[in-house]
């Protein structure tokens, strides 16, 4: 980042402060006013069922002190915690439950098939 806050020219500012990620990244040293919303029009995206890219705006809220590039997106903390929870492979079940479930079923017989049936037993 460059030293000092970036000054935007009048023609660069939109009301509300809405622009692309590329634009805002180029102005990362701007210091938004306290309670000023900065909207990244293409902040996130996904591909819908028709194969089309859908852009989802992301928002930052100025505090009057921090550079735009250092401000978190609103909801970023929730997203980070939710992702960590989803990826936590231990939290949802105990080690004992995991061990039991990993060895839950046993196939009886050489092939496990008797006539037209598959035979399973519990240990």
Q: What are 26-79's pLDDT values in tens digits?
A: 999 999 998 889 999 999 999 999 999 999 999 999 999 999 999 999 998 888
Q: Are residues 7 and 58 in the same domain?
A: yes
Q: Which residue has the tokens 């970036």?
A: 6
Give the domain range for residue 100: 92-123
Got the DSSP string for 73-99?
BTTHHHHHHHHHHHH-SSTTS-HHHHH
Q: Are residues 1 and 60 in the same domain?
A: yes
Measured CA to CA, the distance from residue 62 to residue 105 in angstroms comes to 57
CA angle 23, 27, 29 (to 5 degrees): 160
Q: What are 85-118's pLDDT values in tens digits?
A: 888 877 777 778 777 777 666 665 555 566 777 7
pLDDT for 52: 95
pLDDT for 1: 52
Q: Is 27 within 8 Å of 4 (Cβ atoms)?
A: no
Q: Are residues 26 and 55 in the same domain?
A: yes
Q: What is the pTM of this model?
A: 0.58
């Amino acid at each position: 980042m460059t030293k000092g806050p970036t000054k935007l020219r009048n023609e660069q500012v939109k009301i509300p402060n809405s622009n692309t990620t590329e634009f805002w990244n180029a102005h990362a040293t701007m210091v938004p006013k306290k309670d000023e919303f900065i909207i990244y029009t293409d902040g996130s995206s996904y591909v819908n069922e028709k194969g089309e890219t859908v852009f989802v705006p992301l928002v930052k809220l100025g505090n009057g002190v921090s550079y735009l590039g250092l401000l978190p997106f609103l909801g970023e903390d929730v997203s980070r915690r939710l992702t960590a929870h989803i990826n936590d492979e231990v939290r949802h079940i105990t080690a004992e439950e995991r061990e039991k479930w990993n060895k839950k079923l046993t196939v009886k017989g050489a092939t496990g098939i008797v006539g037209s049936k598959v035979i399973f037993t519990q240990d």
